[in-house]
Chains A and B, each alone.
Chain A
């Protein structure tokens, strides 16, 4: 891909020949195999594929939770592939928001405290301001105010996922990465969560959902498909595959 970082203003993510191996003893498995893609800003993108095809690994690379073995990855103008130390931390804090299949909320914190948590890691705004913003985010994802001070164990699965989405939005990142966000929810709640994620996309924010659920793919603006670590629709032509 010839465009530089500055030349990709219309894409939130630009990946080129991204490769990631996993080693287990003497066996080396190519989890992500020369993936090149571009994710346009303001779109809901579905990354579809069977379990073990490399979707989560690709999301982890985009979220700087893991590092590629080769290739380049630029997210919102930042070279994600070679981040270290505080730059890596700042990237995770500012550029991406994660929504996990298992919600991964802090069990000892209330809903509002969970949402506030990523904001607390940044430079210090006053606690009241953070709390107000967290409450606003919870309101935006549709969690009733009387649930704000409940701990995750006292919330339903759908409510927990709403809290997780609000947490992902806490630092207003340009990229939301959702890894099987409805896998632990019933279909009705799952549909509500997808609607919520869909509503989050905007002019500056891209939402990437890894899923093997056909119904989610139908809701996406762009659908990409992975198999055996390779991207079948290579992302060179976004919106080419419109289900």
Chain B
């Protein structure tokens, strides 16, 4: 107790020096605590993302980028293959309904799916085929902006004379909308397909599509000379997500004249740990050069890269701040100890043991460290969130596919992106009271470290020498 009293008295004899030391140390300790907190938030978020990674594997013909809205393929409306551009997002309107051929460079076949289904650890394989329809039977709910001086469009065409294609996806596993890459979709009316409707002319429409075309459950609409009945509508809450049409796979192959062709297969592995092995087996079974096999894990890894990068940055910052704290207190206490060599000599001359002197310096550094750590911990509350926001850049999940399989990665990627997308936009940094425990640990560590300096001096100081030089 006497040592503590003496140490505190020694500290407050120079309040400016003590205050400056506390201030500088508080900044570095605070930064350390902020980085620890932010790092913890990032780690938690990455864990969340990892936990949401599914076991889906997307298999597509090599070099294709899905039958998506913005990517590949032409339109499947006016009879023969009339548009084979690889990047045709919209085509000239006016095409009439008739059978269409695929513009896909290659396609998976039923026998490919059969091979995949026999691979061990594969639980299920669902197939889909996507086509763009620009006929007059349905009109996209999303239309291009019309230029001010553009001629009036025909009723069948969009603004500026262009008609936005309608994405039509044929699926063989319609039990859950999740398999379509629209995990957040909710049926707003009707139902999805059942097993008896594999070849039926039935359709599930996105709500925006249904509204735009004034369709509701029980209504019918034409696609390429076939009439479809709306049996359900769904909503994802997004305009693009709700601008799709789902029909049974076999029906789609028929209506778009692509018998036996499959654009993508979504394979489910039995466990996360099996995903990589299953993906490798698929590549081997179908040929490494023939298919692109994408797992959700790899997609999620690239999607969550900004958080990983930010986490790395926070760790580097944490270490740097901790080292800075150590250097600051070592340097400061070293200077103070050098200035107080005479005091050390006097204390030893009047009967203080080395431990008495070291104890006094130890208490002084402990008090400084504790105050600095407390200030730093309190600063963590208002600053941690800002630092986290500054460290992480908002990632984009665009291009990872959408409902119906558009974009890189297709529906599985879209599903993964959808699942993790909401976790990427912002990181909520909750500063817990544990930060005070970290602060205490840092303070104790710094105090112990800093006490080494005076301990070294105390051990070396010979009272006669320092008093002789007075």
> A-side interface residues toward B, CB under 8 Å?
56-57, 60, 63, 65-66, 86, 89, 92-94, 98, 100, 102, 104, 106-109, 113, 117-118, 120-122, 127, 167, 170-171
Contacts and interface: CB of A to CB of B under 8 A. Distances in A.
B350 A98 contact: yes
Contacts of B347: 117
A118 B350 contact: yes
Nearest to B468: A56
Contacts of B463: 60, 65-66
Contacts of A60: 463-464, 467-468
Size bracket of the B interface: 20 to 34
Residue of B2, B13, B349, B350 with most partner-chain A CB within 10 A: B350
A8 B119 CA distance: 102
Nearest to A110: B9
A121 B9 contact: no
Interface of B: 2, 6, 9-10, 12-13, 342-343, 346-354, 356, 462-464, 467-468, 470
A164 B356 CA distance: 20
A65 B351 contact: no
B349 A107 contact: no
A89 B352 contact: yes
Given A65-B462, A66-B462, A100 B467 contact: yes
Contacts, number: 66
A118 B13 contact: no
Contacts of A107: 13
B353 A86 contact: yes
Contacts of B13: 107-108
Residue of B351, B464, B468 with most partner-chain A CB within 10 A: B351
A56 B464 CA distance: 9
Contacts of A118: 350-351
Among all A-B residue pairs, the 10 with the closest Cβ atoms: A93-B351, A108-B13, A66-B464, A65-B464, A60-B464, A65-B463, A89-B353, A118-B350, A121-B351, A104-B346
Given A65-B462, A108-B13, A92 B348 contact: yes
B356 A121 contact: yes
Given A92-B351, A118-B351, A108 B468 contact: no
A117 B462 contact: no
A202 to B, nearest CB: 21
A35 to B, nearest CB: 16
Residue of A66, A107, A113 with most partner-chain B CB within 10 A: A66
A171 B347 CA distance: 14
Contacts of B354: 89
B346 A106 contact: yes
B462 A108 contact: no
A89 B356 CA distance: 11
A120 to B, nearest CB: 5
A106 B343 contact: yes
B9 A89 contact: no
Given A108-B9, A108-B10, A121 B468 contact: no
Given A56-B468, A104-B467, A113-B9, 4 more contacts: A66-B462, A89-B348, A98-B350, A117-B347
A121 B346 CA distance: 13
